């Protein structure tokens, strides 16, 4: 049974009033693929006329995580205690975005982590699209979550 559908099959917000408040964490990943010619060029693709790409993406991702309940229907407003975004090149020469969120609440922070990672990746794309429209955002996934009924850890490696 879907949790956001009532007995009449209409959309509804989940009532978390009777749930136990627990410590919740979530981490999400987004991968940004740059065309090979940009990676191999002498010029860093993250140095653009639009400003500091990584720093701007970090700020955008944190802001998005905090505003998730404004963007996703039926997400509860959650008092986020911590949100961090790391953006680094991985061994495959892909730009990897990791968004980690922490809160003590009655519902999880998976959507906040996924939204933060997605918006940070979109910001990188926006700031670099003048270099190439072949930049791709791939595999936005939940990496881990703790708290609530079950914990989760992604086993597949990128």
Please report the pLDDT score of residue 1 as a whole number. 55
Between strands 51-52 and 47-48, the pairing is antiparallel
Domains and CATH numbers, the chain: 22-145 (3.30.70.640)
For 127-146, the pLDDT digits (tens) are 999 888 999 999 899 999 99
For 7-56, the pLDDT digits (tens) are 777 777 777 777 889 999 999 999 999 998 887 765 676 777 788 999 99
- Which helix or strand (DSSP H or E) is residue 104 part of? strand 95-105
Helix axes 53-66, 110-128, angle to 10 degrees: 150
Catalogue the active-site residues. 126
Please report the pLDDT score of residue 131 as a whole number. 87
CA distances from 98 to 22, 26, 28 (A): 23, 10, 6
Between strands 82-89 and 95-105, the pairing is antiparallel
**Token pair 């940070």 is at which residue?**
120
Predicted TM-score of the model (pTM):
0.88
**Cα(43)–Cα(126) distance, integer angstroms:** 18
**Cα(97)–Cα(59) distance, integer angstroms:** 13
């Amino acid at each position: 049974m879907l949790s956001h559908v009532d007995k009449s099959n209409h959309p509804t917000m989940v009532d978390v009033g009777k749930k136990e408040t627990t410590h919740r964490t979530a981490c999400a990943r987004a991968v940004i693929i740059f065309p090979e010619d940009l990676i191999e060029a002498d010029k860093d693709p993250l140095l653009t006329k639009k400003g500091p790409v990584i720093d701007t993406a970090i700020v955008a991702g944190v802001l998005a995580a905090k505003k998730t309940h404004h963007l996703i229907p039926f997400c509860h407003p959650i008092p986020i205690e911590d949100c961090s975004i790391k953006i680094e090149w991985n061994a495959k020469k892909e730009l990897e975005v990791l968004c980690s969120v922490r809160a003590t609440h009655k519902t999880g922070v998976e959507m906040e982590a996924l939204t933060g990672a997605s918006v940070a990746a979109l910001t990188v794309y926006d700031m670099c699209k003048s270099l190439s429209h072949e930049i791709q955002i791939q595999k936005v996934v939940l990496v881990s979550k703790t708290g609530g009924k079950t914990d989760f850890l992604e086993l597949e490696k990128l």
